[in-house]
Homo-oligomer: A and B are copies of this chain.
Amino acid sequence: MPPPTNAERFELGDVVLQHGATLRDAWLGYTTYGELNADRSNAVVYPTWFSGWHTDNEWLIGPGHTLDPEQYFVIVPNMLGNGISSSPSNTPPPYDRARFPGVTFLDQVDAQYRLVTERFGIESLALVTGWSMGAAQTYQWAVRYPEMVQRAAPFCGSAVTADHNKVFLYSLAEAMRADATFDGGWYDADDLPVRGLRAFARIYAGWGFSQAFYWQERWRDMGYSSLQDFLVGFWEGFFLDGRDPNDLLAMLWTWEHGDVGNTPGFDGDTAAALRSIRCPLLSMPAEKDLYFPPEDEAWSSQFIEHGEVRVIPGVYGHFAGNGENAQDTAFVDAGLADLLARPGYTG
């Protein structure tokens, strides 16, 4: 099925990107949940993740969750490149498809900053949170706009993309490119590189959940009848479900280039960028996450004055942060509740 069409649209105009290109007539697709209160103090930014749409964040929003729209005004901006905001698949020539420029997390967050300030007049955020690439955007918010972020809660993601993580990303991209139908990104929209996409999905399957998840056949809890049913039904199904290959590779580019050290003013010094974070930051990596291991978050946390790492236990690995089971969701919810109960940074 195609991406959801219920996003609001925020026009960015011509955006000069960190790596030099200008993305003309760019826009963000976004949704909001709840109402902004009178003093604009209840806003939460919750960006999307690799290949996710705003609707894919809704498992953590609602009555009974910490992000209850009765209390918070939750803004979910779609990442540039995800097929809803400006992306290879929806940008007109000449920056369409394989020519879509590289967008960094800084570009993502600067665009979101404009959405938040220009459209809503918000000057301070109660919380920024996100899973995976959403976690990277969370870190980027805390480094780029330290005076604006009261609290940050990245989960299953990192401030800098580790080399091992990049190797995983390279393997995904190379599998897609091994399918000649991909044709350097110039495939026809009605003749997708399906073999490449399926290989992509199977690579992802090995990384997304832990060894123990498979050993315990926990895919049964997710409604699949066999290992192959999980690989085809969940994984291939997901990536064949309206996900455009060029969009996927554009997001991989963003992910690969993740490093808060490349925020202006830090000259590539990741530790210095982390030291500049003012707000309490609760990182929740998953115990058995194979590409964002808890060790990486322990490393980052040492530089953050009010940093804390709280490891999500269990076997779901990276997908502990995707609402796949009630226990992990409760853990993330509790972490957000604890953080929001504490005083935030307000300058």
**Does A178 make an interface contact (CB < 8 A)?**
yes
How many of A's residues come within 8 Å of B, CB to CB? 42
- Assembly CA distance A118 to B266 (angstroms): 70
Complex Cα gap A204–B210 (Å): 17
A177 CB contact (under 8 Å) in B195, B209, B217, B293: B195
Given A164-B206, A211-B162, A295-B211, do A231 and B198 touch, yes or no (CB 8 Å)?
no
What is the oligomeric copy number?
A: 2
Given A170-B231, A202-B167, A206-B164 in contact, is the A195-B178 Cβ separation under 8 Å? yes
Residues in B whose Cβ lies below 8 Å from that of A181:
180
Interface members, chain A 169-215 (any B CB < 8 Å): 170-171, 174-181, 193, 195-196, 198-199, 202-203, 205-207, 209-215
Tell me which residues across on chain B come within 8 A of A177, comparing CB atoms: 195, 199
Q: How far is the CA of A177 from the CA of B197 in the complex (A)?
A: 12
Q: Which 5 A-B pairs have the closest CB atoms?
A: A164-B214, A174-B199, A163-B214, A178-B195, A171-B202
Q: Give A residues with C-beta under 8 Å from B.
A: 162-168, 170-171, 174-181, 193, 195-196, 198-199, 202-203, 205-207, 209-215, 217, 227, 231, 290-291, 293, 295-296
